[in-house]
Amino acid sequence: MSPQNQPTWLYHEFQHTGVDYGNAEVARQFEGRHRSFRDFDLEFQRIKERVDLKRSDVVLDLGCGSGAFVVPAAKYCRKVYGADVSKSMLALLQEKLDAQGLKNVELFNDGFLSYSHDREPLDVVVSSIALHHIPDFWKAVALQKIVDALKPNGKLYLLDVFFNFSVSDWRNGTQKLLDDMSEAAGGEANVHVSSEYSTFNWIIEGMFERVGLEVEQTFDDATFLRAYVCRKSKPFRQDYQTAITREASRSIDAEAVRLWGIPSLLLMENAGRSLADIFMANATRLDNDQKPRRILICCGKGNNGGDGFVMARRLSLLGLDCRVIAFGRPDEYSGDALTNLNIFKASTKDSPEKLFFFDQSQVSLNQLANKLAWCDWIVDGLLGTGAVGPLRTPYNQIVPLLNQSGKPIFSIDVPSGLSADDGSVYTDAIKAKLTVALAVSKIGLTLECAKRYVGELHIGDIGIPIKPFIENN
Ligand SMILES: C[S@@+](CC[C@H](N)C(=O)[O-])C[C@H]1O[C@@H](n2cnc3c(N)ncnc32)[C@H](O)[C@@H]1O
């Protein structure tokens, strides 16, 4: 599988740094020693649960060594590929596969950089205690190649030694890590730090973000060992031809009302309907194939909140259990937002639990906590393009609570707290799984720095063509 004409400047991954796994004797010792303190079947079960491995899955193990993962995976998954730069490790693995008659495995004498996947796209890539063999620049390249080989939504399970101490504490931090590690790795521990390329967790996490891997879960299996479960996210959409400023987006609505005589209430109805439709079309996929049932819709005082009330009504009609928290006092709502608040109130008058006014009291905070625990999706209709500067009370308290809930968040128009103009975040912002920009994208949503707040970006139709209004501005 390795292309014959790799550039000469490609990192020489076949020249082992640190432990020389290419050496047959070292490989045999590795196998014997690791077998004595590891339980490969248990490790496999753990990975299986963490990535939710399926029998139908096609899996690749990079740096597979003598098959700690490949052998049990071959007994469970449809197809397993393994790659390693060490022929000696692969020979040990092949012996085990032959002895057990496992035929659904293909092995390649290739590394992270030379391996090129030209078979069916992969459901899962696994790599355990191997990526630290290549330097950081090349780790990013390796991760990019993994992303390219994965199916959309495919997963990476990466277990390795990562430094989680501060840089200023490098001496003590390293010593502590070595002390902890030497219990398991013995003499290999020193070599690991002196001659190999383990890196800080914030560096690897930055790499994930840049190549389009979203960290779903982390597991600290030892002070020095961290496992990341990452999902391949949709490529960040920078291909929206049109993206406008907050000011321009506001004038579009006003111009549509002035030039076309389209009532603003109708624009809000269209917006809420398209928010509900896009939510229904994408929520299951974005929440590990779980259908949404209980939705908590958080509505601020402005039009973003008004869109939220319409969305709540639409989703209820589609059979979802929606509860709304209004973050303004009843007398603070006006115009179209008030009309839609009243419609929602009237339509739920027999179910008082459906609408709740948050008033910053402890009782309110407890209610919010209960509702966060209850729901399986949160809708952020708090601020939209309205947020400028630092988050003010109560949003400086609410935004972190929503983020910490661990529930997927759907943002209306712009994740609250994020600047629609330049994608910056003053203090904090909602980290959405899905953002639906109304009518047209805002510039801030399409910038790289906003990616981790915006999640997947869609455009919601509000029933007017955008081009003439943009050209008029
Ligand atoms: C510590 S062993 C881990 C093996 C196996 N993943 C396990 O969990 O037992 C590290 C493995 O990474 C392999 N390795 C080193 N550099 C590599 C590279 N650039 N690409 C792929 N594998 C590499 C070594 O040959 C060795 O088999």
Q: How far away, in angstroms, is 60 Cα from ligand 1 center?
A: 13
Q: Are 437 and 414 in contact (CB under 8 A)?
A: yes
Identify which of 30, 36, 42, 86 to mutate to test ligand 1's pocket (most ligand atoms within 8 A of the CB).
Answer: 86
Spans of all domains in the chain: 24-232, 243-472
* Greatest extent of the chain over all pairs of C-alpha atoms, in Å: 82
Domains 24-232 and 243-472 agree in fold: yes
Determine if ligand 1 sits within 6 Å of the CB of residue 63: yes
- The alpha carbon dihedral of 330, 331, 337, 338 has a sign of positive
Site to substitute for ligand 1 among 14, 85, 116, 137, most atoms within 8 A of C-beta: 85
What's residue 389's pLDDT? 80
CA dihedral 252, 258, 259, 262 (to 10 degrees): 80
Q: Report CA(78)–ligand 1 centroid distance (Å).
A: 23
Contacts of 11 (CB under 8 A, 6+ apart): 113, 134, 135, 138
What pLDDT was estimated at residue 236?
A: 47
Rounded to 5°, angle at Cα 329 from 328 and 332: 80
Single pTM value for the model: 0.58
Residue 407 CA to ligand 1 center (angstroms) comes to 36
24-232 is a CATH 3.40.50.150 domain: yes
Can you list the residues of the chain whose pLDDT is less than 70? 1-5, 185-187, 234-242, 467-473
What spacing in Å lies between the alpha carbon of 192 and ligand 1's midpoint?
13
Give the distance (Å) from ligand 1 centre to CA of residue 21: 8
Q: In 63-174, at which residue ranges do the beta strands (DSSP E only) sit? A: 79-83, 105-108, 122-128, 150-163
d(CA 39, CA 36): 8
- What is the 170 CA–ligand 1 centroid distance (Å)? 26
CB 400: neighbour CB atoms within 10 A?
15
Q: Which of 89, 193, 57, 211 is nearest to 143 (CA)?
A: 211
* Whole-number Å distance between alpha carbons of 277 and 438: 13
Architecture of the 243-472 domain:
3-Layer(aba) Sandwich (3.40)
Is the CB of 67 inside a 6 Å radius of any atom of ligand 1? no
Q: Does ligand 1 have an atom closer than 6 angstroms to the CB of 128?
A: yes
Write the residue with the smallest CA distance to atom 22 of ligand 1. 63
Q: What is the pLDDT of residue 146?
A: 96
How confident is the model at residue 35, as a pLDDT? 83
Determine the distance separating the centroid of ligand 1 and the alpha carbon of 167, expressed in angstroms.
27
**Structure confidence by residue, pLDDT tens digits, 364-414:** 999 999 999 999 999 999 998 877 788 999 999 999 999 999 999 999 999
The pLDDT assigned to 238 comes to 41
Query: Can the peptide bond before residue 394 be classed as cis, meaning omega within 30 degrees of 0?
Result: yes
129 lines ligand 1 (CB under 6 A): yes
Q: Is the CB of 21 under 6 A from ligand 1?
A: yes
